[in-house]
A and B are shown apart, each in its own frame.
Chain A
Amino acid sequence: DSGVTQTPKHLITATGQRVTLRCSPRSGDLSVYWYQQSLDQGLQFLIQYYNGEERAKGNILERFSAQQFPDLHSELNLSSLELGDSALYFCASSIGQGDGYTFGSGTRLTVV
């Protein structure tokens, strides 16, 4: 157990729907990062939060949004889902900004 908790582990939903992925960072970590990994692809950086504030954005679609709450957990919202959104979504956390990341076990999203 890495200490980073992601729920749910698996999610199957239909095109056009909206889903919310949840991440609880490791105790004491203030930074949360979201990554998308499509089949046989590298990790694509989506967005970063530090202590509740958005810090950096990567290639995140406008249909996607995220936030970090006062208790430091984070949620990634994916809307108007398309088949191509099927992927593993990883959350990672670190104490500061850009220290060694600890990854959660991921949420596997399948859009049918």
Chain B
Amino acid sequence: GQNIDQPTEMTATEGAIVQINCTYQTSGFNGLFWYQQHAGEAPTFLSYNVLDGLEEKGRFSSFLSRSKGYSYLLLKELQMKDSASYLCAVRDGSGGYNKLIFGAGTRLAVHP
């Protein structure tokens, strides 16, 4: 089966840096995705890791350690518009077909 854990809520200050952690257990790990979702809207793709290490994309970076079943999303120079839920999703290839399994999401509140 699959198990994906991330904190339920976080708060941070505008201009600061925040790290959102995700731990996972899955039998058919085949990559890890991060999505951003504003309330009532569709999730939008942020980053993808399949190999260990850090992937940087502007103000957003994502890290993966496959041996530890661990990833984090780093958001720098926080802006008010970054207030949203951040979803960690594991691509699971068990059963012969890839599918994305999502964690419950971390609700981030950015305040002035």
Partner-B contacts on A (CB < 8 A):
2, 33, 35, 41-45, 48, 50, 55-56, 58, 88, 90, 96-98, 100-106, 108
From A2, A43, A56, A90, contact of B95 by CB (8 A): A56
- Measured between C-beta atoms, what is the minimum distance from B60 to chain A in Å? 15
**What per-residue 1/0 map shows which CB atoms of B19-37 lie under 8 Å from chain A?**
0000000000011010000
Chain B stretch 1-55: residues in CB contact (< 8 A) with chain A = 30-31, 33, 40-45, 48
Kindly report which residue of chain B lies nearest to residue A43, judged by CB atoms: B102
Q: How far is the CA of A33 from the CA of B101 in the complex (A)?
A: 11
- Measured between C-beta atoms, what is the minimum distance from A98 to chain B in Å? 2
On chain A, the residues within 8 Å of B33 by CB distance are 100-101
Q: How far is the CA of A17 from the CA of B38 in the complex (A)?
A: 30
Secondary structure dominating the interface of B: strand
Partner-A contacts on B (CB < 8 A):
30-31, 33, 40-45, 48, 87, 89, 91, 93, 95, 97-105
B102 touches A45 (CB 8 A): yes
From B30, B93, B99, B104, contact of A45 by CB (8 A): B99
A/B pair count, beta carbons within 8 Å: 60
- Measured between C-beta atoms, what is the minimum distance from A97 to chain B in Å? 5
Q: How far is the CA of A35 from the CA of B43 in the complex (A)?
A: 11
On chain B, the residues within 8 Å of A97 by CB distance are 97-99
Known contacts A42-B105, A43-B87, A100-B48: A33-B42 contact under CB 8 Å: no
A2 touches B100 (CB 8 A): no
Q: Most chain-A CB neighbours within 10 Å: which of B42, B89, B95?
A: B42
A56 touches B97 (CB 8 A): yes
B42 touches A45 (CB 8 A): no
Q: How far is the CA of A55 from the CA of B96 in the complex (A)?
A: 9
In addition to A33-B99, A45-B99, A97-B97, 19 A-B residue pairs with Cβ atoms within 8 Å of each other are A2-B44, A35-B102, A41-B104, A42-B87, A42-B104, A43-B43, A43-B87, A48-B97, A48-B99, A50-B97, A55-B99, A56-B95, A56-B99, A98-B99, A100-B33, A101-B33, A103-B42, A105-B41, A105-B42
